[in-house]
Structure 1
C-alpha cells in the first residue's frame, strides 16, 4: 500500500470510529465532570434523607449563653486577680471561638504573668487555652466536666459567626468592630484545620421554601451581621437546577464542625503540649481567689452568670434530634419549621430556640414534627 493511501484509509477509519462513539454516547447516560450532576436529569442530583422515627438515636437540649450586648471580652481586676472574660456567645460560640480567644489573649498579654488559669473546657475555652499555649503561656484548665459531657457537645456545629451573637438593636460600632476582627481571625484559623481527620469540612447548604417568603434577610437566615469575601455567598437557584418542589431555593457552601472529633483533637493536643486540666467546679468568687494563678481567663459560658452576677446573661435552649448517619448525604438544609445538618456522628434535626429557658428535657413531639416536615419535603423531591 502506498504511503498516501495508508493515511487516507487511516483518516476514514478514525472518522468511522468517532461516528460510532458519538452515536453510542448519544443513547447512553452522559455525565458531567461532577458525578452528582446528570445531564439527562437536567438538575443537580441530591440524595434523599432517610426519615423515620425508628432512626432516632438520641435527643438533647443545649443552652446557648446569650447576652443582648454581645459576648463579654474584657479585663476585670478582683482583689489580687486579673480576670479576662470571654463568654456569652449565644449561637456563635463554635464559629467565634478562635477569634474571641485571640481577643482575650491580647488582654492577657498586657500583664507579665505567664501562668494562666482558664475556666471551662468548651469550644471557647479549649481554643483560648490553645492560643495562649502557642504564645508561651503555662495554662491550666479548671472545669467541672470534659467532652462529651459539656454544653459545646450539644451544638449543631456550623459556621454561623453572627447567630444570636447579640441583640442588634443594642449593638455598638465598637462591638461590631470586635466581632469583625474575631470573625476574620476564626475563619482563617478554621481553614488550617481542613483535611485533618475531617474535624472541619465544607458542604452544600440549602434554604428551601415551597412558596416565595414575604421577607428574606440578605444572609439566608439567622445571621444578624454579614462579612463579604469570606464564605461563598447565597445564590438563588433556578427551578430547573434543583430537585425540590419549591418556588424558592437558595444555595451556598458552608463549614461543618464534626464536634466529637474536633473537641477531642484540640483537647488532646493541648495536653500533649504540656497543658494541664483539673476537674474543679468553680461556684463562687472565693473558689477563683483560691486558685494559685494570678491571671484567670473566664470561658465558663452560662456558668459565669451566678459566679460573676451577670444579670444580662441568659440561656436560649435549643433541642436537637440525632438520626443514624448516612454516608451518602453531605449537605445541610433548612425549610420552614425544621432543618437538618449532616455530621460524621449522625444527621441532626432542629428548629427551635426558647429565650430564657433552662429546661434541658427534650420533647419527642417536637422531634416528630421536624421529621414530618422534612419527610414531606423529601417525598416531593425528584430522583
Structure 2
C-alpha cells in the first residue's frame, strides 16, 4: 500500500487549462423559399410523465485531460465537460487514450459509466487494451442519462475569461474527432440522427455567453450546417426572428445501451464498485486508471474548480410527428424516441437534483403560448 500522504498531496495538482475568446454562431438569410411546416406539440401538465434534474460538471478552465503519477498508479484524467460531454466524449476520450498509450500498461481501469467513460473504454478496446469499468451506478442512474442529448460541443465547456488561449486548439481537435466518430454511428437503430433545429425569438439572438443559458465560448464552421434565418413566409411562428439548421441528436437510452452492449461483447468488464477516496483507487489491480467520474472527481481529487450547473427536464408523452428541436425565450423542446423533453434552465453551483414543479409549469406555459400563436 502506498504512502497515503504522498498520494493525497499529489492528487491536489490541477490539470491543464482551457479556452479563449468567444465567437457567435453565424446566421445567414435562407437561400431557399421552402416553407417549414411544423406540427404543433400537444402540451398540458397531465402529459408530463417524468421530471429529472441533471448536473453538468463544469470547470472554468475547461475539461481536465491530463496524466499524473500518484504513488504506484498512473491516473489519466478525462472529466469536467460542462454541457458538452455527450458531444466531446469521443474526442477527449481519444486524447485520454493517447496518454494511456504512453504508460505501456495493457490492463486499464476506467472509472465512470457515463457517455465519457463508455466512449473512452471503447476507444481503448480498439487498441487492444483489456478494460474494466468501475462505476457507482449504471445507466439510467447516471448523469449522462438525464442530459438533452444534442450536438453542442461548446455548451458550457469553459469560461473564456478563465481558460487559457491554447485550450481552443484542444477543443477543436476533440470536436473534429467526435464529429467524425458520430458519423459512423448514424443509421444504427437511430442512436444518432439528424433533426431540424429551430430558434424562435422576438429579437435577434447572439450565441449565448451566460453559463446559466448554455454559454458557448467557441464556434467551429464546416461541420454542421450554419443557421439560416427564415422569412415570415417560411415559417408558422409569430415571432420575428426564426432560424433553422440541421443538427445531430442522440437518443440517449438506446445510445448508452449500444455502448455498454458493444463494450461487453468485445470482452470488457463492468463492475459496480463505488470509488469514495484515493485509497479505493490504490486498491484496484490495474496500475493505469482513467478518471471519467465527472462531478465525483471533485472530493477525491480536491478539484475546487469543478462545480455543478443543474438543468431540469420534463418529459412529455411522445408524438410520432414531432421530430424537431426548438429553442425559444424561457424554454426548449427536444424530441427523442423515449419522449419529448422540455427544458431551458441552468443553475450554477446547484447540487440539488430534486425537480421543481414551478420550472415545469413555466416550460409548459411558454411553449403553450408559442403553439397557440402558430399559424395553422
Query: Which residue of structure 2 lines up, in the alignment, with residue 162 of structure 1?
Result: 154
Counterpart of 1:276 (choices 269, 273, 276) is: 269
Query: Which residue of structure 2 lines up, in the alignment, with residue 206 of structure 1?
Result: 198
RMSD between aligned alpha carbons? 1.5
Query: Which residue of structure 1 lines up, in the alignment, with residue 282 of structure 2?
Result: 289
The answer to whether 1:113 aligns with 2:105 is yes
Q: Deviations over 1:68-97 (max 9, x none)?
A: 000000001000100000000000000000
Cα deviation, residue 382, structure 1: 1.3
Q: Say how many residue pairs are matched.
A: 341
Specify the SS of the correspondent of 1:359. coil
The answer to whether 1:298 aligns with 2:298 is no
Q: Deviations over 1:178-222 (max 9, x none)?
A: 10000000000001000000000110101101x224x52399974
Give the conservation status (yes or no) of the 8 Å contact 2:83–2:214.
no
Distance 1:68 1:222, change over 3 A: closer
Distance 1:174 1:271, change over 3 A: same
Cα deviation, residue 44, structure 1: 2.1
Q: Which residues in structure 2 correspond to 1:26-65 (within 5 Å)?
A: 43-65=35-57
The answer to whether 1:333 aligns with 2:326 is yes
TM-score (normalised: structure 1): 0.87
Unaligned runs of 5+ residues in structure 2 are 1-32
Greater alpha carbon shift after TM alignment, 42-51 vs 197-206: 42-51
Larger relative contact order (C-alpha < 8 A, sep ≥ 6)? 2
Q: Structure 1: which 4+ aligned runs deviate by more than 6 Å?
A: 218-221
TM-score (normalised: structure 2): 0.89
Q: Which residues in structure 2 correspond to 1:105-184 (within 5 Å)?
A: 105-184=97-176
Matches of 2:241 and 2:191, distance apart in 1: 32
The answer to whether 1:98 aligns with 2:97 is no
Matches of 1:173 and 1:137, distance apart in 2: 34
Query: Which residue of structure 2 lines up, in the alignment, with residue 226 of structure 1?
Result: 219
Matches of 1:352 and 1:168, distance apart in 2: 21
Unaligned runs of 5+ residues in structure 1 are 1-38
Query: Which residue of structure 1 lines up, in the alignment, with residue 357 of structure 2?
Result: 364
Query: Which residue of structure 1 lines up, in the alignment, with residue 246 of structure 2?
Result: 253
Specify the SS of the correspondent of 2:166. helix
The answer to whether 1:380 aligns with 2:373 is yes
